[in-house]
Structure 1
Amino acid sequence: AMLSVAPASPPASVQVMNRKVQSVQAGGNVTFSCRSVTKEDVIQVTWQKETDGAEDNIATYSTLNGQKIAKAYASHVSFAHSQLQASAISLHGVTLHDEGCYKCIFNTFPLGAVTGRMCLKVYAISDPKVETKLILSPDKAEDSEKMVEMSCSATGKPAPKITWHLPSILQQKPREYHMKFSNQTVTVISNFTHTHSKILQEYPITCMIQHPSLNVTLVVPTDSLEQGPDSSVAPAIPIAVGVLLPLTFLLLLSCLLHHRLRHLRDPERNPAWPCWVGLPFLRVLQQS
């Protein structure tokens, strides 16, 4: 006799409603959404995060118990949608620790659990800056030319890319340094030195920082270079004049008061001429 074989029913599955891999900048928000496409009864929906090879429970939803969020996640995780056939959670103020893969698990009866999986990449960028400063020439000779150090830096995850836009007469290869931190961020510093000259002020020099969450072009500041290495000498003249003039006035005033007092005490021996009358050029004026 021929044995009839019933066609196998399609396997239960879960449809991930968002992209399988999402990217978000640190501090932003992200939502994960899943939908069960099985005809079986769903008893409970559970959200988990894969952590060091294990699964960490984030939240659950069931008709009997409603929404439940684990204490470790309650401060920045909420349900965006909660039904037995469809579920979504949102992460608020994402940090670098939120990076990883997540699971939505639909516990069905009688087939058991069906799972959807999605991952999150978190980007971070901070402190993009460019600066210049005058430094001494390596030979440290008194008559040696001043050097200008230009530095461009940023901290991010992944490591930011730094490129310089230089005029053709300044083409050179900058030095680049990388410092890695325990939170997976990397500080990149790119710098070079050049002889201090007007070229640095006449031609625009820019630093471009490229990152998945930020592309910015920074213009090298030249304010600190316009004064030049001898800028400290220029203010000396107005400062000296500003100090000497009041001192001269006070000296003449005290001299006048002193002679006035002497004249009042003994008019015959102390004529009422102020002290500067004794100066040669004033004697000539008196005689004329």
Structure 2
Amino acid sequence: MARLTVAHFLCVLGFLPKALPALIETQQTVTAALRDDARLTCRLTQTKDVVQITWHRLRHAENTFLASYTEKYGERVNPKLERKVEFADAALQRTSIVVKNLTEEDKGCYRCMFNTVSEGALTGQTCLQVYELHEPVLRVGGSDSTVVSCWATGRPAPTVSIDVLQKDLQLVANGSVSVANSNGSVTVNTTAVLSGHPVNGKQVVCTAQVFSSSQTTTMIFPDLDEEPEPESRDGLYAEESGPSLSYICAPLISLALIILILCLVIFRRKLNNKKNNSELEKKMTSERPQDDNTTTPLIEEGTKAKRRTPFKKTPSRMSPSRKSPSNPLTLKPRELFFNSGDKTNCPKLECLNENC
């Protein structure tokens, strides 16, 4: 006690050095869920002559450049990480970056560096933890419905606990079982036995926690006289396993009925069209004449009248006294020439035949 008093007295007098405040203020650990965004911030507690700010990621002994800022050139981001990292706050005394759509590869420590003219590089560091946590599932089992089970899946392995809200009920923990999944996550199943009666209408709370993040599920004990709800293949209640089967089947049945009605309508139309075409073809066939060589009554009557009319010879234009020669060879060539053409302007020909 005396030594502490002396040390405090010397510190007040200035003989012992005082602890210097941190020049860079930052959050040592940042936790964020998988596929979320994380914001990392560094801030100078004192004003310095800063000319440049840079961010690096330290992971597996690798130092990866992320981004930098200067008043002259502004913000610069690693071209390979343009969709991953962006500035949220760019200034010479304070800087913040956002790491988007977090994956397991993004966890690690990030270093912010303030490059000054007089004091060199001032460095701060913050570490990012990426977690995965799914909503816990609570179930009541056993012959007397007094066994309570709760499980949750997360990365890293979550902490699963079961509690009751009523003071007249107690839970005796039986233990937890962890199962590693192929994707790196872990499923933890915690089981407890409920003591105290009656349990009808009592509430049980299951909490799953990873780092500072937690998720809670609450369930009310069912009536012991009622039949338990059927379980799915995964051991979950039907209402916990997903949407009811009726909600899935109803739209499918409606769609099938609509398709069936459309098919019936199309088939009926095709059948009617085929029937109409058949009737039209029959009608056209009945109206078509049986024999193409049969003549109409009018033509037939004209033919008969023509047959009854005697043939009359057309009188010859030549005078009876001047008959045409029976043998054309007796005519002169000139006469043959004019007889074959127009006779109106022909000169009067002399007949060489004695019978002219």
The offset of 1:181, in angstroms, is 5.0
Alignment pair present for 1:218 and 2:218? yes
Equivalence for 2:150 = 152
The verdict on how the C-alpha distance between 1:163 and 1:23 changes in structure 2, with shifts beyond 3 A counting, is same
Equivalence for 1:121 = 129
Counterpart CA distance in 2 for 1:207 and 1:110 is 58
5+ unaligned residues in a row in structure 1: which ranges? 1-12, 135-144, 230-288
Contact 2:200–2:223, Cα closer than 8 Å, also in 1: no
The verdict on how the C-alpha distance between 1:34 and 1:117 changes in structure 2, with shifts beyond 3 A counting, is same
Of 31, 35, 42, the match for 2:40: 31
The offset of 1:159, in angstroms, is 1.8
Equivalence for 1:178 = 178
The verdict on how the C-alpha distance between 1:15 and 1:81 changes in structure 2, with shifts beyond 3 A counting, is farther
Equivalence for 1:207 = 205
Equivalence for 1:162 = 161
Equivalence for 1:70 = 78
The offset of 1:127, in angstroms, is 2.9
SS in 1 for 2:202: coil
Counterpart CA distance in 1 for 2:185 and 2:24 is 30
The offset of 1:220, in angstroms, is 5.1
Counterpart CA distance in 2 for 1:87 and 1:171 is 50
| Runs of 4 or more above 6 Å deviation | 145-148, 166-170
The offset of 1:63, in angstroms, is 3.9
Report 1:225-264 matches (<5 A).
226-227=226-227
The verdict on how the C-alpha distance between 1:69 and 1:162 changes in structure 2, with shifts beyond 3 A counting, is same
Letter in 1 for 2:41: F
Report 1:74-113 matches (<5 A).
74-109=82-117, 112-113=120-121
The offset of 1:173, in angstroms, is 3.0
The offset of 1:23, in angstroms, is 3.2
Higher normalized contact order (CA 8 Å, seq sep 6+, divided by chain length) = 1
TM-score (norm. length: structure 1): 0.55
The offset of 1:123, in angstroms, is 3.9
Letter in 2 for 1:32: T
Contact 2:58–2:109, Cα closer than 8 Å, also in 1: yes
Contact 1:15–1:36, Cα closer than 8 Å, also in 2: yes
Contact 1:15–1:37, Cα closer than 8 Å, also in 2: yes
The CA deviation string for residues 122-177 of structure 1, in whole angstroms up to 9 with x for no partner, is 3432131112457xxxxxxxxxx688764211123452231243886775433311
Equivalence for 1:61 = 69
Equivalence for 2:331 = none
The verdict on how the C-alpha distance between 1:50 and 1:99 changes in structure 2, with shifts beyond 3 A counting, is same
The verdict on how the C-alpha distance between 1:155 and 1:149 changes in structure 2, with shifts beyond 3 A counting, is same
Contact 1:96–1:183, Cα closer than 8 Å, also in 2: no
> Larger helix proportion, structure 1 or 2?
2
Counterpart CA distance in 2 for 1:76 and 1:206 is 42
TM-score (norm. length: structure 2): 0.46
Over the matched positions of the two proteins, sequence identity in percent amounts to: 23
SS in 2 for 1:226: coil
Letter in 1 for 2:149: S
Counterpart CA distance in 1 for 2:169 and 2:94 is 63
Counterpart CA distance in 1 for 2:37 and 2:135 is 18
Counterpart CA distance in 2 for 1:87 and 1:33 is 6
The CA deviation string for residues 194-225 of structure 1, in whole angstroms up to 9 with x for no partner, is 9xxxx686252513214222252421563797
5+ unaligned residues in a row in structure 2: which ranges? 1-20, 230-356
Counterpart CA distance in 2 for 1:23 and 1:40 is 32
Letter in 1 for 2:89: H
Counterpart CA distance in 1 for 2:171 and 2:134 is 28
Letter in 2 for 1:213: S
Counterpart CA distance in 2 for 1:192 and 1:39 is 59
Counterpart CA distance in 1 for 2:183 and 2:68 is 29
The verdict on how the C-alpha distance between 1:151 and 1:200 changes in structure 2, with shifts beyond 3 A counting, is farther
Letter in 1 for 2:110: Y
The verdict on how the C-alpha distance between 1:178 and 1:209 changes in structure 2, with shifts beyond 3 A counting, is same
